[in-house]
Amino acid sequence: MADNNDKINIRLELHDTELFVTIPRDEEELTRAAGKLINETVNWYYDRFHLERGEKEILYMALLNIALRLERSMQLHDEEPYVDMMQKLTSEIETALKKKK
């Protein structure tokens, strides 16, 4: 875990809110990119729906969009199906080798 010397304070502007956060120094670029993603997503929904929907609902729509992206990404990088497949293949190979003996 990083000590306080490895942390920095940064300011992010998220939609209409100024947010001050203390983060590990090596996560600054990632944190700023996350802030940019939030702003881009909120702005996209706001541009399209601000006449029909309230701000809170627009923020939740943006939040859902980002959460769906995260879930899709996690599914794409889920190794469990591959581990299961490798275990089954290993078992079948072992069974086939035993039959040849």
What value does the mean pLDDT take over residues 2-27? Answer: 90
DSSP letters, 20-89, are EEEEEGGGHHHHHHHHHHHHHHHHHHHHHHTTTS-HHHHHHHHHHHHHHHHHHHHHHT--HHHHHHHHHH
Q: Residue 42 has which token pair?
A: 């909120």
75 or 15, which is more confident: 15
How much is the pLDDT for 31?
96
Q: Are 51 and 42 in contact (CB under 8 A)?
A: no
CA-CA distances (angstroms) from residue 52 to 2, 9, 17, 26, 64? Answer: 46, 37, 22, 41, 18
Q: Tell me the pLDDT tens digit for each residue of 74-87.
A: 888 777 777 777 88
Query: CA torsion sign, 90 to 93 to 98 to 101?
Result: negative
51 or 3, which is more confident: 51
* Percent of the chain at pLDDT exceeding 90: 64
Q: How many whole angstroms separate alpha carbon 13 and alpha carbon 49? A: 21
| pLDDT at residue 44 tops 90 | yes
Q: Tell me the pLDDT tens digit for each residue of 48-66.
A: 999 999 999 999 999 999 9
Q: From the CB of residue 41, how many other CB atoms can be counted at a distance below 10 Å? A: 20
